[in-house]
Structure 1
Amino acid sequence: MTLKPIIAALALFAFSAGAQTLRAEDSPRQFVQEFYEWYVPMTHHTHSEDASNIAIKKKSSAFSAELLQALKEDMIASSKSPGEIVGLDWDPFLNSQSDIDRCLLGNITSKNGAFRVEIYDVLGGKKDKKPAIIAEVKQENGHWIFVNFWNPDGGNLLSELRALSKERKKTRK
């Protein structure tokens, strides 16, 4: 008897045993946490473009095709009209116009095959009482992606981007 079948069986056992202890929300939590650990420090530095535009370019695989297309369209429209507000005038991933120290993740809920992750701002060592934004993520082709960002007071990023696009098309006529 060779060792290959034994090693394969042990690996399968170890994998399935580990999967049983992993909670469903742990994987989206890790994905969102890693994104914000990369993103928030970048917002503290001056760049030639907004941090959100850098994220769109460098982390495009972290966004659904629909969200990425809407963000790119908004980014291009804004770059063509410097000094005018023709697109988002706040950070779409922080739901803010001001800097924060860091983010903390809160509750994670499952809805229609996706997960919504509460994201709290931390400023001056104090965590906000309510989430600043709620990231909606789902798994697609074996990896996690952002599909939308929700404002805790209502509304969401995709709807806002669609409304801005519609307004730009109307004003061009």
Structure 2
Amino acid sequence: MPHRLLFAARLANACRSADTRDAVTDAEDAQSARRFVQAFYDWYVPLGDRAPATRLYRVVARGPQWFTPMLQHALQRDVDAQRNVADIVSVVGDFDPFLNAQDPCPHYAALAVVPRGTGWQVAVSAQCEGGVATPAVLLDVAREGTDWRFANVRMPERPTVDLVSQREAAQAMRDSVSRSDTARSSY
């Protein structure tokens, strides 16, 4: 009987150790995701363009470093649609989705990190002049190999609306306009 009790105690300790290790691993993973997001903003914000699309054109060109293939493809198509067009025909033509603004604040801070799917969602706050901090964006990040990548961008005021679905809606609108223009020109 004492042997069984000793085994049960060892098993219970092993289970507690595994739970603790998972919690520690999750905490380290979450902080790693937050550091990835902060590194992006530390690089991105000083680019300093006031025109929303031109700053994003630069980051999309370097996209594989920052984005999952799906988000990279969506952003590239959006940028390509907006490039050399005077009217706003894309998400990036209207505002900078990573800053959720046309006129960015001087600093952005990656703050809260919560689990989202198989990755994390990192809340980013705009640190504006006068000490005012406002929620800017919610970034979904996912692992690709050993590196983090942005998988989607959400707006805090409407967290169910995301960049990928907005881009798809903009593409559908462009396709609809293109079909109607083609139909009119065939008359």
What residue in structure 1 maps to residue 165 of structure 2?
A: 159
CA distance in 2, matches of 1:135, 1:63: 11
Structure 2, unaligned stretches of length 5 or more?
A: 1-23, 180-187
Pair 1:64-2:68 in alignment: yes
CA distance in 1, matches of 2:72, 2:63: 10
Sort the Cα spacing of 1:127 and 1:46 in 2 relative to 1 into closer, same or farther, 3 A. Answer: closer
CA distance in 2, matches of 1:72, 1:95: 18
CA distance in 2, matches of 1:132, 1:165: 24
Structure 1, unaligned stretches of length 5 or more?
A: 1-18
What residue in structure 2 maps to residue 113 of structure 1?
A: 118
CA distance in 1, matches of 2:78, 2:107: 26
Q: Is the 8 A contact 1:120 1:127 kept in 2?
A: no
Tell me the amino acid that sits aligned with residue 116 of structure 2. Answer: K
What residue in structure 1 maps to residue 152 of structure 2?
A: 148
Q: Aligned-pair distance for 1:73?
A: 0.6
Q: With structure 1 as the length reference, what TM-score do the two structures score?
A: 0.80
CA distance in 2, matches of 1:21, 1:95: 28
> What is the percentage of aligned positions where both structures have the same residue?
26
In angstroms, what is the RMSD of aligned CA positions? 2.1
Q: Deviations over 1:131-166 (max 9, x none)?
A: 210111010122100000111122111110000001
Q: Is the 8 A contact 2:50 2:103 kept in 1?
A: no
Q: Aligned-pair distance for 1:84?
A: 0.5
Tell me the amino acid that sits aligned with residue 164 of structure 2. Answer: L
Match of 1:37 among 34, 42, 65: 42
Pair 1:87-2:93 in alignment: no
Q: Is the 8 A contact 2:105 2:128 kept in 1?
A: yes
CA distance in 1, matches of 2:49, 2:35: 24
Query: How many residue pairs get matched?
Result: 152
Sort the Cα spacing of 1:127 and 1:72 in 2 relative to 1 into closer, same or farther, 3 A. Answer: same
Tell me the amino acid that sits aligned with residue 86 of structure 1. Answer: V
Sort the Cα spacing of 1:96 and 1:21 in 2 relative to 1 into closer, same or farther, 3 A. Answer: closer
Of the two, which has the highest radius of gyration?
Answer: 2
Q: Aligned-pair distance for 1:24?
A: 2.5
Match of 2:82 among 57, 75, 78: 78
Tell me the amino acid that sits aligned with residue 65 of structure 1. Answer: P
Tell me the amino acid that sits aligned with residue 27 of structure 1. Answer: S
